[in-house]
Structure 1
Amino acid sequence: ILEKTQQVYGSRSEALYLMDKGMIQHLAGHHIDSIHSLSNAEALTEELYTRRIRSEVEAFLTSDNALPYEGEEFEKVLLNVLMAVNYAQLGLWDDALVEARKVDHKLTLLGDRNQNRMTYSKDALARYLSGVLYEAAGDLSNAFVAYRLALDAFQQYGKAYGVPTPALLRQDLLRVSEALGLTQEHEEYKQAFQGITWQSESASQGLGEIVFITYAGHAPVKRDIFVDIPFSADALSLVLATTRYDRRDTRAADSILYGLNGRIIRLALPQFVPRRSVVAYTEAVVAGGESRHVSRSVVMEDITAIASKDLEERLLRTMVKAVARAAWKLALAEAVQVGVRSAVQD
């Protein structure tokens, strides 16, 4: 179905199409096909990033829609997360660890580039799953590093997105730090994680662990909000007069008035509208004989919160660029009018 509607995405949204295709294939259990689609999406996002400077000149002269969609930063990281899960499902652990290393590389570059300007520079889910993969491969040292980075990310998540640090991460840090003989770190975690029940590595010998990943909820919907920018006193009066009666059904009429005035620019700025999930949590039940174990899921990544916060932080920059573009066009139009009048008078 998705392939039949590929043309709906358009040539500038090819990366988005490949992301959606890879995700659908992943959910359908077609892991090899999903890896292929997600790998193509990753390659395209990297290519678009390198071409962005040239494209931004075009976008300034026209609109941001002139820029091909290269994906948000968190989407680029999630590409590798999903590919790692695909490889793990296929039993290709070395390939899964390659994706974990790519995650580390991307997040390191993102942190260096952002310099604390954007909230999203750490990814708790990606770091935690990297730790799980390293531990499954028997590499406790790298697993500990990944878990520690996940803890750092969750501390940021709690402040920015309202996502608390899950108990399972605290249990992993206690277990792995003890197994590695990191006495000081282990004692610090015991003090910080009081009340957490955990099992040592030696006590876990011969036992397995099942990690369930649940995809719950819908991505937010991106819609436009409209901002009217006047470039003269008369234009400001007109904007104030129409704003009092501003409703969606009068938007077309207002646009005509603004067009006749010629000194009002209506900007369309993106806004994410959340779609609340009806799923509060999921439970995994393992039963055998008279024993029964129930484990409840916890939130590891709130995509809606991350996307909304990221867009909010970029909105001011987007608006400044849009106003500058509008002012440049207005100045150019008036320069042309002056030139025409001068030519007629001559």
Structure 2
Amino acid sequence: MVPLRNQLLLGHAAEALPEVRDSELGDDTYVLDRLEQGRIAWLAGQDAGSKQAFAAADSRLAWEDEQAQYRLSRGLAQAGSLLTNDQTMAYRVPDYERTMLHHYLALNYLQRGDAEGALVEVRRANQVQEQALKTRADEVRAAKAQQEEGGDEQMRQQVSRGMPELDRLIGQVKNGFQNAYTFYFSGVLYEASGDLNDAWVDYQRGYQIAPDNLSLQVALLRLARLRGSPDELRETEKKLGRKAPPLVPSIAKNQGQLVVLFEDGLIPARREFFLPLPIATSGGDFRTFTVAVPYYDNRASDSGPLAVSVGNRHEQTSALVRLEALAAKDLQERLPGMLTRQALRLLSKEQLRRSAAKEGGDVGNILVGIFNTLSERADTRSWLTLPAQASSWQGSLPAGDIRLTLGAGSAMRELPLTIHAGQTTLVWVQRLGNRLTTRVMPL
């Protein structure tokens, strides 16, 4: 993935597309490869290919969710991983990646002018987050309980102490799946379709996760006034600590909404951390084992807001989500299960070594030792073409032709736009290196 990511950072998305693995249905990385393919095709402006790749990933995930036989095969793969490593298991798509799959499918539908299809996908994205709230806490508790019951407690403690910290990268994120970016996006779509109630619900959900985002604050104040409940308006103004602007029908009638969604950079890649551990064997002696664990550098991406200018009006986007923090938090939540498998893997490999030494003497002992060392690899797989962060800006503008100026660092772009009265225009922006990629979608 290194040359592929470098191509993207140089603005060569079309050249990066052939670098994606040519996996087949049933391969361990099939879904992950389709996610990468869909995202790169979107960046390259190849909308049909993007939709096809994302739809293939979505279809396979739906099949996996329904197949008891597939869950059994995953269990067998996990058992097989006890003699090798976690990369022998089929890639398990984290909830935050599933959410973004539906997010990009929604953008694909919008690009083709299918607002109804886009609404279906944002509903599905939000359902992923709702389901994760119900199940993820139980999974984390079960993994910790399993960790306490099985394996070598000494090994787990040593790995935990030796691993790099993730807390700085995670920041204030409470879990690895709640995404205010998608909630805000769905609220915009609902509001543009005239469904103020569902828009209100999703803006509220987004605000609970990203209370400092100005777009969400403005949207809540606007909808509180439009929904016509004085009590709701007073409560919203009190919660946000600011007054809602007055609604002047003559002005509103001649204005339209401009929404800018800004995706910045690329999500960091997992790294591999090797830790030599002296562990007491059943024979009473000590042997040094090497375990490999995935981790992220404990630092956030160097990024900032997007400057948005129209005439004499100069604004900037405000943060919605740091996907890099969700990825780090998701990894942190999965570590108990990973460490349990590491403990069981060491036991399995030690038993294999003892059997080989008994049957093959020193040669068997040496060969198994070499195998154990070479097969110990961390599972560093993840969706590596996702953005690191996302932010937004939303404002009312007079209807008519405008020239929108966008800037982030050395990356600049000017877009001629037409604002339509009573309608919303969505501008999607991605910064990679010193280049801005944009899409304009009237809602």
The Cα of 1:146 is off from its aligned counterpart by 0.8
Q: Go from structure 1 to structure 2 and tell me whether the alpha carbon gap of 1:310 and 1:104 turns closer, same or farther (over 3 Å shift).
A: same
Q: Go from structure 1 to structure 2 and tell me whether the alpha carbon gap of 1:226 and 1:168 turns closer, same or farther (over 3 Å shift).
A: same
The Cα of 1:144 is off from its aligned counterpart by 0.5
- Which residue of 2 is the match for residue 35 of structure 1? 51
The Cα of 1:337 is off from its aligned counterpart by 5.5
TM-score with structure 1 setting the length: 0.77
- Which residue of 2 is the match for residue 181 of structure 1? 228
Distance 1:196 1:306 in 2: 33
Q: Go from structure 1 to structure 2 and tell me whether the alpha carbon gap of 1:54 and 1:152 turns closer, same or farther (over 3 Å shift).
A: farther
Q: Go from structure 1 to structure 2 and tell me whether the alpha carbon gap of 1:105 and 1:13 turns closer, same or farther (over 3 Å shift).
A: same
Are 2:341 and 1:321 aligned? yes
Q: Secondary structure at the match of 1:273?
A: coil
- Which residue of 2 is the match for residue 140 of structure 1? 196
The Cα of 1:9 is off from its aligned counterpart by 7.4
- Which residue of 2 is the match for residue 91 of structure 1? 113
Give the number of aligned pairs: 304
Q: Go from structure 1 to structure 2 and tell me whether the alpha carbon gap of 1:295 and 1:315 turns closer, same or farther (over 3 Å shift).
A: same
The Cα of 1:283 is off from its aligned counterpart by 1.6
Distance 1:141 1:236 in 2: 67
Counterpart selection for 2:126 from 104, 109, 124:
104
- Which residue of 1 is the match for residue 256 of structure 2? 208
- Which residue of 2 is the match for residue 21 of structure 1? 37
- What CA deviation, in whole Å up to 9, does each residue of 1:64-83 have, x standing for no partner? 11112232221110011111
Mark the runs of 5 or more structure 2 residues left unpaired by the alignment: 1-14, 141-173, 362-443
The Cα of 1:42 is off from its aligned counterpart by 2.1
- Which residue of 2 is the match for residue 259 of structure 1? none
Q: Secondary structure at the match of 2:277?
A: strand
The Cα of 1:315 is off from its aligned counterpart by 2.0
Distance 1:14 1:276 in 2: 29
- Which residue of 2 is the match for residue 120 of structure 1? 176
The Cα of 1:43 is off from its aligned counterpart by 2.3
The Cα of 1:326 is off from its aligned counterpart by 1.1
Are 2:294 and 1:311 aligned? no
Q: Go from structure 1 to structure 2 and tell me whether the alpha carbon gap of 1:113 and 1:293 turns closer, same or farther (over 3 Å shift).
A: same
Aligned-residue RMSD, C-alpha: 3.1
Distance 1:35 1:236 in 2: 58
Distance 2:188 2:248 in 1: 14
Mark the runs of 5 or more structure 1 residues left unpaired by the alignment: 156-164, 239-262, 342-346
- What CA deviation, in whole Å up to 9, does each residue of 1:119-155 have, x standing for no partner? 1242111111000000011111110111111112225
The Cα of 1:109 is off from its aligned counterpart by 1.2
The AA in structure 1 aligned to 2:241 is Q
The AA in structure 2 aligned to 1:86 is N
TM-score with structure 2 setting the length: 0.61
* Bigger mean CA offset, 80-89 vs 129-138: 80-89
| Conserved? CA contact 2:177–2:326, under 8 Å | no
- Which residue of 2 is the match for residue 168 of structure 1? 215
Q: Secondary structure at the match of 1:69?
A: coil
**Structure with the higher fraction of residues in strand conformation:** 2
| Conserved? CA contact 1:230–1:236, under 8 Å | no
Distance 2:339 2:241 in 1: 47
Distance 1:302 1:9 in 2: 29
- What CA deviation, in whole Å up to 9, does each residue of 1:202-256 have, x standing for no partner? 5533421121222212211211111223222899998xxxxxxxxxxxxxxxxxx
Are 2:18 and 1:4 aligned? yes
**Structure with the higher fraction of residues in helix conformation:** 1
